[in-house]
Structure 1
Amino acid sequence: MLIHTVLDMAQAVPVPNPEPIAPPGLEKPINTILGWGKWGVIVSGVAGLLICGAQMAIGRKNRSSFAADGASGIPWVLGGLSLAATASGIVGMFLG
């Protein structure tokens, strides 16, 4: 009975949920670092897809396992790009 009363009281107290605010002076450097990370992911994604395409083109004749390795790498590259594209939404879902 006492536990239920305590739980009811805890639910009645509003929990503050402030908006995220960058510490003074850190907003610009952090945005620069995040921009570098985004640029790195884009470059890596393009390079990964080019490498997969090259493996498939090279493995077309008499190297079918090499072509299959290139084709099997495409979902991994696209998965990594998708994760990077949705990263802020995923983090916001858990912290929002």
Structure 2
Amino acid sequence: MKLTSYLAAPNPKPAAPPELSSKVDIVLNFAAWVGTAAGVAGVLVTGAMMAVSLRRGESSEHASRLGVVLCGCVLVATAGPLVNFVFN
């Protein structure tokens, strides 16, 4: 054997046990569903608050709240691909 084969760093492929993998997938899918539902609810609530404020003639900063909600939606939607990009 060559000396370089002894000095090379191991590169194991991560694999979850099958019985644990399915349970983790269920929890992650549920968390993704809850995050998506919360994002939709946040957009709806913010839109309703904007409509009520406009109807009353009040100026408010609901547009910044809507921006925060939409950024959260983008983060929830791209969490899986971001982690996949970083760790693969």
| TM-score, reference length from structure 2 | 0.77
Distance in 2, matches of 1:14 and 1:35, equals 37
Greater gyration radius: 1
Name the counterpart of 1:56: 50
RCO higher in structure (CA 8 A, sep ≥6) = 2
Q: How does 1:1-96 map to 2 (within 5 A)?
A: 13-60=7-54, 61-65=56-60, 68=61, 70-96=62-88
- Decide whether aligned partners of structure 1 residues 87 and 14 sit closer, same or farther in structure 2, where only a CA change above 3 A counts: farther
Distance in 2, matches of 1:18 and 1:85, equals 29
- Which stretches in structure 2 are left out of the alignment for 5+ residues? none
Distance in 1, matches of 2:78 and 2:13, equals 20
Distance in 1, matches of 2:85 and 2:19, equals 26
Identity of aligned residues (%): 37
CA RMSD of aligned residues (A): 2.2
Q: CA deviation at 1:90?
A: 2.1
Aligned residues: 83
- Which stretches in structure 1 are left out of the alignment for 5+ residues? 1-8
